[in-house]
Amino acid sequence: MPPASSPTPASSRTHAPTHRRHAHSRVSTHTTNAVRRREKRSRRSRAASAGLASVALSATMVASMVGATPSAVAAPAGPPTGAGLVLNAPIVSGAVTPDAHGYWLVGSDGGVFAFGDAGFHGSTAALPLVSPVAGLTSTRDGRGYWEVAADGGVFAFGDAGFYGSASRDALGGRIVGMAATTSGNGYWLVGSDGGVFAFGGAGYYGSAVRMSPNSPIAGITPTADDGGYWEVAADGDVYAFGDARFEGNAPTIAPAVGIASGAAGYRIVADNGGAFAFGGAEFGGSLAALHLNKPIVATSSTRNGYIDIGSDGGVFNFGAVGYYGSLGAATVYTPPPPPPPPAPIAPPVLIDYGLSSYQIAAWDRVNICEEGGNWYVNGSVYAGGLGMSRANWNQFNTFGFPSDAAYATPLQQIRVAVAFATYYTGNPDWAPDQNGCGGGY
């Protein structure tokens, strides 16, 4: 796909410093648990605490998994593919190293995977995160990185400095992206509502809050001199702030998922792999014509190259960025479905044998008076709970009920009694006078 044209900037999208969500002067001093641990360990590698989900795919880390030294491990035949790995969570972001010879991928659980010359400096995979990780960005020298969670929590690793987080701020939308200053002395966070939060040496130049009411913001990227930044919405619209120039919107038919700076412009990528370059940004190709196993979720660029990243860990390199492996052959753990709820217990089927409530109540009173509530009397002449003789039971039990009234249910006995009353009185609702017995009712 050729680079997109650069139309004249629309005034509503150029340097629109509306709604200040988080000024530089409001930098939070909150320190996360991850940072405290990092400070206590004096920036030492935390691979041991990261868990298997954060294993860096390098000879050193593979060796540590099997208890061997790196020298004892044979060099892989080719770049790692992730075959045999089961990821705890899908990949959500990544970053290319400054020298274009490696990159990191990060899962929503905070697990970090390092390829090429990218070093593994730790992860949040072993921490009980309040919100899933949403992004990762590298330091200027590639010796550290930051993770950001959807609630605005920031986690610093390697030589990355901690300059604050938005985890205690009132967010208008979940955090969806992060970008670092070129000097590495600060960073920006951006929310799905367009709110921008600036920390450290990162300047605040405005935000896209209320500018994209029908399409959530998907990412942020700074200008080369850190004097501004662009935000991109899922519909491909771009919002420029500070010294960032508006160069055009992406005419994408699929949701935009990321934006990356390039020279004097920017490049936008959609979840179908479509890429759109504006201004001086390099266009090295796109994936729009390919069948992707999973959608693209992030993009990252460096000088003269970039990578696009799939949610399955697939990596697609363009320009000067080399290919050093991916997680495309890995599988994402899917928890087993919960067991189905137990089948409801059907209520017992009440067979009333065509009896009316009046008949049941009348003969129930007879039972109280005759037998004191006992329906299973078994006498030599009379049986059951209604004082019926065995001869009468045998005569009027034409319903297939037990041959002995003492073994019949109360309703079965009443049904036979109604047949008896109908035969002798012609009135199916007749019941014998109990000589003043109230039957307990």
Q: What is the mean pLDDT of each run of 10 residues along the chain (441 residues)?
A: 36 32 34 36 34 36 30 58 90 96 97 97 95 97 97 97 95 96 95 97 97 96 96 98 97 95 92 95 91 95 92 95 94 90 80 90 90 91 92 94 94 95 94 63 32
What is the CB neighbour count within 10 angstroms for residue 340?
A: 6
Ramachandran quadrant class, 190 (left: phi over 0; alpha: psi -120 to 50; beta: rest): beta
Q: What is the pTM of this model?
A: 0.65
Strands 331-332 and 86-87: parallel
d(CA 406, CA 87): 68
The confidence score (pLDDT) of residue 77 equals 63
Using alpha carbons, select from 355, 359, 353, 258 the residue that is nearest to residue 307: 258
Which of 2.40.50.140, 3.30.310.160, 1.10.530.10, 3.40.50.880 would CATH assign to domain 357-425?
1.10.530.10
CA gap 413, 402 in Å, rounded: 10
Q: For the chain, where do the domains classified as CATH 2.130.10 start and end?
A: 11-332
CATH 3.30.310 fits 11-332, yes or no: no
Pair of tokens at residue 306: 């970039």
Per-residue model confidence (pLDDT) at position 389: 93
Quote the longest CA-to-CA distance of the chain. 110
Two structure tokens written together for 224: 């080369």
> CA angle, corner 41, sides to 40 and 42, nearest 5?
95
Residues 6+ apart with CB under 8 A from 136: 93, 94, 95, 104, 105, 106, 112, 145, 146, 147, 148, 178
Question: 203 and 168 in contact (C-beta within 8 Å)?
Answer: no
CA dist., res. 61 & res. 84, Å (int)? 16
Say how far apart CA 111 and CA 88 lie, in whole Å.
8
pLDDT at residue 404, rounded to an integer: 93
- Residue 415's CB is within 10 A of a number of other CB atoms, namely 25
- Euclidean distance between CA atoms 42 and 40, whole angstroms: 5
Q: Beta strand pairing status for 133-138 and 112-116?
A: unpaired
First and final C-alpha spacing in the chain:
90
Backbone phi, psi, residue 224, to 5°: -65, -30
Closest to 118 measured CA to CA, from 109, 108, 107, 105 = 105
CB-CB contact of 355 with 414 (8 Å): yes
Give CA–CA dist 339/362, Å, rounded: 49
- Are the C-beta atoms of residues 49 and 171 closer than 8 Å to each other? no
Residue 38 in tokens: 């990092």
CA distance 176 to 219: 6
Predicted pLDDT at 437: 67
CA dist 416 to 57, 168, 377, 430, Å? 83, 77, 16, 13
The phi and psi torsions of 377 (rounded to 5 degrees) equal -65, 140
Instruction: Name the segment(s) of the chain with CATH classification 1.10.530.10.
Output: 357-425
